[in-house]
Amino acid sequence: MAVRTRSEFSCTDCGAQHNKWVGQCPACGSWNTLVEVMATASHKADPRRPRFVDHIDNRGPQPLADVAVEKLRRSHTGVEEFDRVLGGGLVTGSVILIGGDPGIGKSTLVLQCLAHMSRQARTLYITGEESAQQVALRAQRIGVNADGVQLFAHNQVEQVLVSANQLKPSIMVVDSIQTLYTQFLQSAPGSVAQVRECAAQLVRYAKQTGTIVLLIGHVTKDGHLAGPRVLEHMVDTVLYFEGDADSRFRIIRAIKNRFGAVNEIGVFAMTETGLREVGNPSALFLTHHQKAVSGSTILATQEGTRPLLVEIQALVDSTSLGNPRRLTVGLEGSRLAMLLAVLHRHGGVALNDQDVFVNAVGGVRVSEPAADLAILAAVVSSLRDQPIAEGLVIFGEVGLAGEVRPVQRGQDRLREAAKLGFKRAVIPAANAPKRVIGGIEVVAVERLEQALERVFP
């Protein structure tokens, strides 16, 4: 007779275990902190549950130097931009979580990858949101040959794993993790307990069998992956799909990657035939003005291992409010206020009666401090209504004392700028190249006031 699996409720604040859900934890008094978890009291085997051995090495402690390191085996997806974000391809036995807004292209991307990889390996597509016919219609619409892709429309994780054990695929896609449920929990699909337990079973299966598992996840209105935060810790790679609803361009960004660089990005364009790779994303983020305009400058930024040129636009206007507004799009808002204070103290430019708006063109997000100098140059350009010279690129971090600090991969940024035809660069003195880079003049500066003199002669 099979042992009946029961569930318990654990407090996320104090960890106390309870047999039933209540609004307030009796142990610590916190409200709405009880979540359903699998009971751990019984260790008897249940024949209904898929049996997987633990993937953790149980041989005991050993010297780190004695651990045999095998070369990572990667599988190419057929989409170069996706391979770049992954660090060179899909690693055997890895679990990748892909999150993004509805309709942004997550299912389209993985279907294109599976269609390519099915020519050389067994692939399995698990759909819990759509019917098999809907997935087939999408494949026809984007024009991919998915005849070799095995499709299974089901949302019970036990049945999914049984089918995977029978087919033994090399790559398995689960669309989406929030639609799966385990029959041993009473909560609805998408709840914290269901997402955590289903993901744990899929991760265990991937590590034991060496199967590559791609999990598609929903995001909340705040842009975070729905479900428990522990979900991101369980997987090997976390990717986010970004893009505006009004734009056809999409950016996939690596937030976590155990087998590659984080903050690596891939750029795509959504077309009627699916996602198309953008080979030169720097050209995407640059605006070609018919004539020079004030408040616009070109920043050489770095996303992972890829240098990008991004246009930074600023608008400075007199305010009618008591507190002038400071608004940024694609940049850190709190850092703008600090930069304006540095500009006042060390650049002699006061903006206490001006509204300041700064935007990174193209929907790209720039979070590194290397954008400081370009932002201040755009702000001063807008304030003075003085366009910045064409063919000029700027990057550098600005400190509170007015010094211009060096940034990472300065040589790569300069080479990217020279490749796109830029003739002059204002950069930190510590990033000045020892060898001349052909086609571009390097202006090295140490102070903010020195940089402003060179940008606005």
The whole-angstrom separation of Cα 27 and Cα 17 is 9
Would you state the pLDDT for residue 272?
86
**pLDDT tens digits for 389-415?**
989 999 999 999 999 999 999 999 999
3-state secondary structure the chain: CCCCCCEEEEECCCCCEECCCCCECCCCCCECCEEEEECCCCCCCCCCCCCCCCCCCCCCCCCHHHCCCCCCCEECCCCHHHHHHHCCCEECCCEEEEECCCCCCHHHHHHHHHHHHCCCCCEEEEECCCCHHHHHHHHHHHCCCCCCEEEEECCEHHHHHHHHHHHCCCEEEEECHHHCECCCCCCCCCCHHHHHHHHHHHHHHHHHHCCEEEEEECECCCCCECCCCHHHHHCCEEEEEECCCCCCEEEEEEEEECCCCCCCEEEEEEECCEEEECCCHHHHCCCCCCCCCCCEEEEEEEECCEEEEEEEEEEEEECCCCCCCEEEECCCHHHHHHHHHHHHHHHCCCCCCEEEEEEECCCCCCCCHHHHHHHHHHHHHHHHCCCCCCCEEECCEECCCCEEECCCCHHHHHHHHHHCCCCEEEEEHHHCCCCCCCCCEEEEECEHHHHHHHHCC
Q: Are residues 238 and 311 in the same domain?
A: no
35 part of a folded domain:
yes
Q: Are residues 260 and 346 in the same domain?
A: no
**pLDDT tens digits for 435-455?**
888 889 999 999 999 999 999
The enclosing domain of 204 has a CATH number of 3.40.50.300
Q: Are residues 342 and 219 in the same domain?
A: no
Q: Are residues 108 and 252 in the same domain?
A: yes
Q: How many domains does the chain have?
A: 3
Percent of the chain exceeding pLDDT 70 equals 90
Q: Which of 241, 258, 279 is the last residue of a domain?
A: 279
Strand partners, 286: none
**pLDDT tens digits for 53-93?**
455 566 678 898 888 888 888 999 999 999 999 999 999 99
**pLDDT tens digits for 334-377?**
899 999 999 999 999 999 899 999 999 877 788 899 999 999 99
63 part of a folded domain:
no
Q: Are residues 188 and 331 in the same domain?
A: no
68 part of a folded domain:
no
- Print the domain residue range for 413: 284-455
Phi/psi for 450 (5° steps) reads: -65, -40
Would you state the pLDDT for residue 40?
46
Phi/psi for 438 (5° steps) reads: -60, 135
Whether the CA torsion 91, 95, 101, 103 is positive or negative: it is positive
Residues whose CB falls within 8 Å of the CB of residue 261, separated by 6 or more in sequence, listed in order: 87, 254, 304, 305
Q: Which of 219, 247, 279 is the last residue of a domain?
A: 279
pTM to 2 decimals?
0.76
Would you state the pLDDT for residue 43?
42
53 part of a folded domain:
no
Q: Are residues 234 and 217 in the same domain?
A: yes
> Does residue 51 carry a pLDDT above 60?
no
Would you state the pLDDT for residue 176?
87
Would you state the pLDDT for residue 188?
82
54 part of a folded domain:
no
Q: Are residues 274 and 289 in the same domain?
A: no
30 part of a folded domain:
yes
The whole-angstrom separation of Cα 323 and Cα 366 is 26
Would you state the pLDDT for residue 1?
39
Q: Are residues 312 and 198 in the same domain?
A: no
> Does residue 282 carry a pLDDT above 60?
yes
The whole-angstrom separation of Cα 417 and Cα 419 is 5
Q: Are residues 237 and 341 in the same domain?
A: no
The whole-angstrom separation of Cα 66 and Cα 434 is 41
The enclosing domain of 451 has a CATH number of 3.30.230.10
Q: Are residues 236 and 338 in the same domain?
A: no
**pLDDT tens digits for 132-169?**
999 999 999 999 888 899 999 999 999 999 999 999 99
Q: Which of 279, 310, 338 is the last residue of a domain?
A: 279
Q: Are residues 222 and 305 in the same domain?
A: no
> Does residue 173 carry a pLDDT above 70?
yes
Q: Are residues 315 and 237 in the same domain?
A: no
The whole-angstrom separation of Cα 212 and Cα 124 is 10
241 part of a folded domain:
yes
Would you state the pLDDT for residue 41?
42
The whole-angstrom separation of Cα 38 and Cα 116 is 38
Label the pairing between strands 397-398 and 404-405: antiparallel
433 part of a folded domain:
yes
Neighbours of 6 (CB within 10 A): 13
